[in-house]
Chain A
Protein backbone atom coordinates (compact mmCIF):
# COMPACT_ATOMS: atom_id res chain seq x y z
CA UNK A 1 0.00 0.00 0.00
CA UNK A 2 2.82 2.36 0.88
CA UNK A 3 4.59 1.49 -2.36
CA UNK A 4 1.46 2.37 -4.33
CA UNK A 5 1.25 5.79 -2.64
CA UNK A 6 4.87 6.36 -3.59
CA UNK A 7 4.13 5.35 -7.18
CA UNK A 8 1.18 7.77 -7.13
CA UNK A 9 3.54 10.58 -6.15
CA UNK A 10 5.79 9.85 -9.15
CA UNK A 11 2.80 9.61 -11.50
CA UNK A 12 1.36 12.93 -10.28
CA UNK A 13 4.67 14.57 -11.09
CA UNK A 14 4.67 12.96 -14.54
CA UNK A 15 1.11 14.18 -15.19
CA UNK A 16 2.15 17.70 -14.18
CA UNK A 17 5.12 17.62 -16.55
CA UNK A 18 2.89 16.59 -19.46
CA UNK A 19 -0.05 18.90 -18.81
CA UNK A 20 1.61 22.10 -17.53
CA UNK A 21 2.09 25.03 -19.82
CA UNK A 22 4.21 27.21 -17.54
CA UNK A 23 7.91 26.44 -17.48
CA UNK A 24 8.14 26.96 -13.72
CA UNK A 25 5.24 24.59 -13.17
CA UNK A 26 7.07 21.92 -15.18
CA UNK A 27 10.09 22.48 -12.94
CA UNK A 28 7.91 22.09 -9.84
CA UNK A 29 6.41 18.88 -11.23
CA UNK A 30 9.89 17.50 -11.87
CA UNK A 31 10.66 18.30 -8.24
CA UNK A 32 7.69 16.16 -7.17
CA UNK A 33 8.94 13.26 -9.32
CA UNK A 34 12.34 13.69 -7.71
CA UNK A 35 10.79 13.47 -4.24
CA UNK A 36 8.88 10.34 -5.24
CA UNK A 37 12.01 8.55 -6.40
CA UNK A 38 13.85 9.45 -3.21
CA UNK A 39 10.95 8.15 -1.14
CA UNK A 40 10.94 4.88 -3.10
CA UNK A 41 14.65 4.29 -2.49
CA UNK A 42 14.26 4.89 1.23
CA UNK A 43 11.20 2.64 1.45
CA UNK A 44 13.12 -0.22 -0.17
CA UNK A 45 15.83 -0.01 2.47
CA UNK A 46 13.47 0.25 5.44
CA UNK A 47 13.38 -2.47 8.07
CA UNK A 48 10.25 -2.80 10.16
CA UNK A 49 10.81 -1.10 13.53
CA UNK A 50 14.41 -0.55 12.48
CA UNK A 51 16.73 1.80 14.28
CA UNK A 52 18.68 4.58 12.54
CA UNK A 53 22.09 3.41 11.21
CA UNK A 54 23.99 5.11 14.02
CA UNK A 55 25.94 2.82 16.34
CA UNK A 56 24.85 3.18 19.95
CA UNK A 57 27.77 2.76 22.36
CA UNK A 58 25.76 0.35 24.54
CA UNK A 59 24.87 -2.21 21.89
CA UNK A 60 27.00 -4.89 20.28
CA UNK A 61 27.73 -4.79 16.56
CA UNK A 62 25.79 -8.00 15.89
CA UNK A 63 22.63 -6.64 17.55
CA UNK A 64 23.06 -3.37 15.71
CA UNK A 65 23.50 -5.05 12.32
CA UNK A 66 20.36 -7.12 12.92
CA UNK A 67 18.20 -4.12 13.80
CA UNK A 68 19.33 -1.12 11.78
CA UNK A 69 17.91 0.09 8.50
CA UNK A 70 19.96 -0.01 5.30
CA UNK A 71 22.52 2.85 5.31
CA UNK A 72 23.40 2.62 1.61
CA UNK A 73 20.15 4.01 0.13
CA UNK A 74 20.22 6.77 2.73
CA UNK A 75 23.68 7.85 1.64
CA UNK A 76 22.73 7.73 -2.04
CA UNK A 77 19.51 9.66 -1.43
CA UNK A 78 21.49 12.26 0.50
CA UNK A 79 23.71 12.70 -2.57
CA UNK A 80 20.71 12.81 -4.86
CA UNK A 81 18.87 15.47 -2.81
CA UNK A 82 21.83 17.84 -3.00
CA UNK A 83 22.25 17.21 -6.75
CA UNK A 84 18.53 17.90 -7.14
CA UNK A 85 19.03 21.31 -5.59
CA UNK A 86 21.78 22.15 -8.09
CA UNK A 87 19.70 20.98 -11.05
CA UNK A 88 16.70 22.94 -9.73
CA UNK A 89 18.79 26.11 -9.56
CA UNK A 90 19.91 25.53 -13.15
CA UNK A 91 16.35 24.97 -14.39
CA UNK A 92 14.99 28.02 -12.55
CA UNK A 93 17.79 30.13 -14.00
CA UNK A 94 16.77 29.01 -17.50
CA UNK A 95 13.11 29.83 -16.73
CA UNK A 96 14.02 33.28 -15.45
CA UNK A 97 16.06 34.06 -18.57
CA UNK A 98 13.21 32.87 -20.79
CA UNK A 99 10.82 35.10 -18.84
CA UNK A 100 13.09 38.09 -19.27
CA UNK A 101 13.30 37.50 -23.01
CA UNK A 102 9.68 36.64 -23.79
CA UNK A 103 7.78 38.16 -20.86
CA UNK A 104 5.92 34.95 -20.05
CA UNK A 105 6.32 31.51 -18.53
CA UNK A 106 3.90 30.03 -21.08
CA UNK A 107 5.62 27.50 -23.32
CA UNK A 108 3.07 27.94 -26.11
CA UNK A 109 4.07 31.57 -26.47
CA UNK A 110 7.80 30.92 -26.34
CA UNK A 111 7.95 29.98 -29.99
CA UNK A 112 9.46 32.72 -32.03
CA UNK A 113 13.18 32.81 -32.50
CA UNK A 114 15.03 35.95 -31.59
CA UNK A 115 18.64 36.03 -32.61
Chain B
Protein backbone atom coordinates (compact mmCIF):
# COMPACT_ATOMS: atom_id res chain seq x y z
CA UNK B 1 0.00 0.00 0.00
CA UNK B 2 2.63 2.49 1.06
CA UNK B 3 4.95 1.18 -1.67
CA UNK B 4 2.28 1.89 -4.30
CA UNK B 5 1.83 5.36 -2.83
CA UNK B 6 5.57 6.02 -2.91
CA UNK B 7 5.77 4.76 -6.51
CA UNK B 8 2.95 7.06 -7.61
CA UNK B 9 4.53 10.06 -5.90
CA UNK B 10 7.85 9.11 -7.52
CA UNK B 11 6.17 9.17 -10.94
CA UNK B 12 4.76 12.57 -10.04
CA UNK B 13 8.23 13.81 -9.16
CA UNK B 14 9.58 12.50 -12.47
CA UNK B 15 6.83 14.31 -14.38
CA UNK B 16 7.65 17.48 -12.42
CA UNK B 17 11.34 17.16 -13.31
CA UNK B 18 10.42 16.81 -17.00
CA UNK B 19 8.22 19.89 -16.67
CA UNK B 20 11.00 22.01 -15.25
CA UNK B 21 13.80 20.78 -17.52
CA UNK B 22 12.11 20.70 -20.93
CA UNK B 23 12.66 23.64 -23.22
CA UNK B 24 9.39 23.27 -25.10
CA UNK B 25 6.55 25.15 -23.44
CA UNK B 26 3.85 22.78 -24.71
CA UNK B 27 5.72 19.78 -23.34
CA UNK B 28 5.96 21.54 -19.98
CA UNK B 29 2.22 22.20 -19.92
CA UNK B 30 1.35 18.62 -20.83
CA UNK B 31 3.66 17.13 -18.22
CA UNK B 32 2.25 19.42 -15.53
CA UNK B 33 -1.08 17.90 -16.49
CA UNK B 34 0.47 14.50 -15.86
CA UNK B 35 1.54 15.74 -12.42
CA UNK B 36 -2.00 16.82 -11.63
CA UNK B 37 -3.71 13.64 -12.78
CA UNK B 38 -1.18 11.41 -11.02
CA UNK B 39 -1.80 13.42 -7.87
CA UNK B 40 -5.53 12.74 -8.23
CA UNK B 41 -4.76 9.01 -8.10
CA UNK B 42 -2.50 9.61 -5.09
CA UNK B 43 -5.38 11.39 -3.35
CA UNK B 44 -7.58 8.34 -3.98
CA UNK B 45 -4.97 6.17 -2.29
CA UNK B 46 -4.88 8.64 0.60
CA UNK B 47 -8.63 8.02 1.22
CA UNK B 48 -9.61 11.45 -0.06
CA UNK B 49 -12.17 10.81 -2.83
CA UNK B 50 -13.65 14.31 -2.70
CA UNK B 51 -10.27 15.94 -3.16
CA UNK B 52 -9.50 13.55 -6.03
CA UNK B 53 -12.72 14.48 -7.86
CA UNK B 54 -12.11 18.20 -7.42
CA UNK B 55 -8.47 17.75 -8.47
CA UNK B 56 -9.49 16.06 -11.74
CA UNK B 57 -12.04 18.73 -12.56
CA UNK B 58 -9.73 21.62 -11.72
CA UNK B 59 -6.84 20.01 -13.59
CA UNK B 60 -8.92 19.72 -16.77
CA UNK B 61 -9.89 23.39 -16.60
CA UNK B 62 -6.37 24.59 -15.82
CA UNK B 63 -4.95 22.46 -18.65
CA UNK B 64 -7.46 24.02 -21.05
CA UNK B 65 -6.41 27.49 -19.87
CA UNK B 66 -2.68 26.73 -20.13
CA UNK B 67 -2.89 25.05 -23.55
CA UNK B 68 -5.04 27.89 -24.88
CA UNK B 69 -2.37 30.34 -23.69
CA UNK B 70 0.41 28.25 -25.22
CA UNK B 71 -0.97 27.25 -28.62
CA UNK B 72 -0.13 29.44 -31.56
CA UNK B 73 2.48 31.30 -29.61
CA UNK B 74 6.21 30.96 -29.32
CA UNK B 75 6.29 27.31 -28.24
CA UNK B 76 9.03 25.97 -30.46
CA UNK B 77 12.62 25.82 -29.38
CA UNK B 78 12.92 28.54 -26.82
CA UNK B 79 16.47 29.62 -26.32
CA UNK B 80 17.44 28.36 -22.92
CA UNK B 81 20.72 30.02 -22.17
CA UNK B 82 21.48 28.17 -18.98
CA UNK B 83 24.23 30.31 -17.57
CA UNK B 84 26.41 28.20 -15.30
CA UNK B 85 26.49 30.89 -12.62
CA UNK B 86 22.72 31.24 -12.58
CA UNK B 87 22.02 27.53 -12.40
CA UNK B 88 24.57 26.93 -9.67
CA UNK B 89 23.15 29.82 -7.66
CA UNK B 90 19.67 28.37 -8.09
CA UNK B 91 20.82 24.89 -7.03
CA UNK B 92 22.52 26.34 -3.95
CA UNK B 93 19.42 28.31 -3.02
CA UNK B 94 17.16 25.29 -3.47
CA UNK B 95 19.58 23.17 -1.42
CA UNK B 96 19.46 25.64 1.47
CA UNK B 97 15.65 25.71 1.38
CA UNK B 98 15.71 21.91 1.18
CA UNK B 99 17.85 21.64 4.32
CA UNK B 100 15.35 23.78 6.20
CA UNK B 101 12.56 21.69 4.73
CA UNK B 102 14.13 18.46 5.95
CA UNK B 103 14.27 19.92 9.46
CA UNK B 104 10.59 20.81 9.24
CA UNK B 105 9.56 17.41 7.88
CA UNK B 106 11.56 15.65 10.60
CA UNK B 107 9.39 17.37 13.18
CA UNK B 108 6.26 15.84 11.64
CA UNK B 109 4.74 12.73 13.22
CA UNK B 110 5.53 9.42 11.60
CA UNK B 111 3.65 8.78 8.37
CA UNK B 112 0.37 6.95 8.98
CA UNK B 113 -0.32 8.55 12.36
CA UNK B 114 -2.45 11.64 11.85
CA UNK B 115 -1.62 14.87 13.65
CA UNK B 116 -5.05 14.97 15.25
CA UNK B 117 -4.10 12.07 17.51
CA UNK B 118 -1.46 14.20 19.19
CA UNK B 119 -4.00 16.49 20.79
CA UNK B 120 -6.93 15.33 22.85
CA UNK B 121 -9.10 18.29 21.88
CA UNK B 122 -8.23 18.46 18.19
CA UNK B 123 -11.13 19.88 16.15
CA UNK B 124 -10.85 17.00 13.68
CA UNK B 125 -11.75 14.52 16.42
CA UNK B 126 -14.80 16.59 17.31
CA UNK B 127 -15.83 16.65 13.65
CA UNK B 128 -15.38 12.90 13.33
CA UNK B 129 -17.35 12.11 16.48
CA UNK B 130 -20.20 14.58 16.35
CA UNK B 131 -20.26 15.62 12.68
CA UNK B 132 -23.06 13.30 11.64
CA UNK B 133 -25.22 14.09 14.68
CA UNK B 134 -24.76 17.86 14.42
CA UNK B 135 -25.00 18.41 10.67
CA UNK B 136 -26.71 15.31 9.33
CA UNK B 137 -24.18 15.01 6.52
CA UNK B 138 -22.57 11.55 6.24
CA UNK B 139 -19.70 12.99 4.21
CA UNK B 140 -17.67 14.85 6.80
CA UNK B 141 -15.61 16.79 4.27
CA UNK B 142 -18.72 18.52 3.01
CA UNK B 143 -19.89 18.88 6.61
CA UNK B 144 -16.68 20.76 7.43
CA UNK B 145 -16.79 22.81 4.23
CA UNK B 146 -20.41 23.85 4.29
CA UNK B 147 -21.30 23.78 7.98
CA UNK B 148 -18.45 23.91 10.50
CA UNK B 149 -16.29 26.20 8.40
CA UNK B 150 -18.76 27.80 6.05
CA UNK B 151 -17.08 31.19 6.53
CA UNK B 152 -13.95 29.76 4.93
CA UNK B 153 -15.98 28.67 1.95
CA UNK B 154 -17.49 32.13 1.69
CA UNK B 155 -13.96 33.58 1.71
CA UNK B 156 -12.93 31.07 -0.95
CA UNK B 157 -15.83 32.13 -3.14
CA UNK B 158 -14.81 35.76 -2.64
CA UNK B 159 -11.20 35.07 -3.64
CA UNK B 160 -12.32 33.07 -6.66
CA UNK B 161 -14.70 35.84 -7.72
CA UNK B 162 -11.97 38.49 -7.36
CA UNK B 163 -9.48 36.39 -9.32
CA UNK B 164 -11.97 35.78 -12.13
CA UNK B 165 -12.86 39.48 -12.15
CA UNK B 166 -9.17 40.38 -12.36
CA UNK B 167 -8.58 37.94 -15.22
CA UNK B 168 -11.54 39.36 -17.15
CA UNK B 169 -10.36 42.94 -16.50
CA UNK B 170 -6.85 42.11 -17.69
CA UNK B 171 -7.99 40.26 -20.81
CA UNK B 172 -10.66 42.76 -21.85
CA UNK B 173 -9.68 44.57 -25.01
CA UNK B 174 -10.38 48.05 -26.29
CA UNK B 175 -12.33 49.03 -23.24
CA UNK B 176 -10.54 52.32 -22.68
CA UNK B 177 -10.39 53.12 -26.40
CA UNK B 178 -14.13 52.71 -26.70
CA UNK B 179 -14.83 55.01 -23.76
CA UNK B 180 -12.46 57.60 -25.22
CA UNK B 181 -14.31 57.45 -28.52
CA UNK B 182 -17.59 57.76 -26.71
CA UNK B 183 -16.32 60.83 -24.90
CA UNK B 184 -15.13 62.40 -28.17
CA UNK B 185 -18.44 61.70 -29.81
CA UNK B 186 -20.40 63.10 -26.94
CA UNK B 187 -18.26 66.24 -26.61
Q: Which residues of A contact B (CB under 8 A)?
A: 1-16, 18-22, 24-25, 27-29, 31-32, 35, 38-39, 42-55, 57, 61-62, 64-65, 68-72, 74-79, 81-90, 92-97, 99, 103-106
Say whether, besides A15-B94, A69-B114, A61 and B139 are in contact (CB < 8 Å): no
Residue-wise, chain B 85-129 has the 8 Å CB interface mask toward A (1 for contact) of 011001101100110011001001101111110000001110111
Q: Complex Cα distance A79/B97, Å?
A: 26
Q: Which residues of B contact A6 (CB under 8 A)?
A: 9, 105
Tell me the count of chain B residues lying within 8 A, CB to CB, of chain A: 91
Residues in A with CB closer than 8 Å to B81 are 21
- A2 with B9: in contact, given A28-B19, A42-B51, A105-B73 (CB under 8 Å)? yes
Residue of A nearest to B130 (CB): A61
Residues of chain B at the chain A interface (Cβ within 8 Å) = 1-2, 5-6, 9-10, 12-13, 16-17, 19-20, 25, 28-29, 32, 35-36, 39, 42-43, 46-51, 54-55, 58, 61-62, 65-66, 69-70, 73-74, 78-82, 86-87, 90-91, 93-94, 97-98, 101-102, 105, 108-109, 111-116, 123-125, 127-129, 131-133, 138-141, 143-145, 149, 152-153, 156, 159-160, 162-164, 166-167, 170-171
A82 vs chain B, min Cβ distance (A): 6
Q: Complex Cα distance A22/B83, Å?
A: 15
- Cβ distance B28 to chain A, nearest Cβ, rounded Å: 5
Q: Which residues of B contact A48 (CB under 8 A)?
A: 111-113
A96 with B58, Cβ < 8 A, contacts A15-B91, A55-B138 known:
no
Extra pairs beyond A2-B6, A28-B19, A93-B170 (17, CB < 8 Å) = A3-B105, A10-B101, A19-B87, A19-B90, A32-B16, A35-B35, A38-B39, A39-B39, A44-B109, A48-B112, A50-B47, A71-B140, A86-B162, A86-B164, A89-B62, A89-B65, A99-B74
Whole-angstrom distance between the Cβ of A79 and the nearest chain B Cβ = 5
Q: Are B170 and A71 in contact (CB under 8 A)?
A: no
